[in-house]
Amino acid sequence: MARAVPEGSSRVGGPPDRLLGAAIADDLGFLIAAARARTAIEANSVLAPLGLKVREFSLLWVVSEDLRPSQRELAEFLALDPSQVVSILDDLERRRLVVREQDARDRRSRIIIATDRGRDLIQRALLEVRSASERTLGDLDASEQSMLRDLLSRVAFRGSVGR
């Protein structure tokens, strides 16, 4: 059902209000994608001075937690094509932010580990991204943000949330 929007009104920094009356504006898939795009734009703007984009940041954050994921596990978890993960890892490895090591569980596989340099960078990046997230999610109070996090976790991880 399309939203009723006053004719000619508009908000600063958003789409023209007349477009909010489009049926797609109520579609959950569209809303999730639009919210993701908005958060990525904000995050990329604060990550650029650090030489990172959201994908590199996300991958580096995961491997900085000593979880020792394989490249395949990273691709699945981050919902990226394996070739994208290889390309990102090549860049991060060139920058000496990560290393690839043979996986003791499967000698054909490589695990990814953040270097000290990578851990230092992710700590600086996290401060910037959290600040950007506060701006992006500023219209939601703490309980609404918590509810949104829980709901999106259920959707993203098909009900299996390991927190």
51-114-93 Cα angle (round to 5): 60
User: What is the C-alpha separation between 1 and 4, in angstroms, rounded?
Assistant: 9
Average pLDDT over residues 27-39: 93
78 within domain boundaries: yes
Give just the sign of the alpha carbon dihedral 74, 76, 78, 80. positive
What is the structure's pLDDT at 161? Answer: 55
52 within domain boundaries: yes
120 within domain boundaries: yes
| pLDDT level of residue 14 (50, 70, 90 thresholds) | confident
Burial (0-12, 13-18, 19+ Cβ within 10 Å), 93: middle
> Which residue's entry shows tokens 């809303």?
31
- Per-range mean pLDDT, top range of 22-31, 125-134, 152-161: 125-134
**How many structural domains does the chain have?**
1
Q: Which domain holds residue 107?
A: 17-135
Find, among 96, 118, 99, 119, the residue nearest to 110 by Cα.
99
106 within domain boundaries: yes
Domain of residue 59, CATH code: 1.10.10.10
> Which residue's entry shows tokens 């990578």?
118
What is the structure's pLDDT at 148? Answer: 94
160 within domain boundaries: no
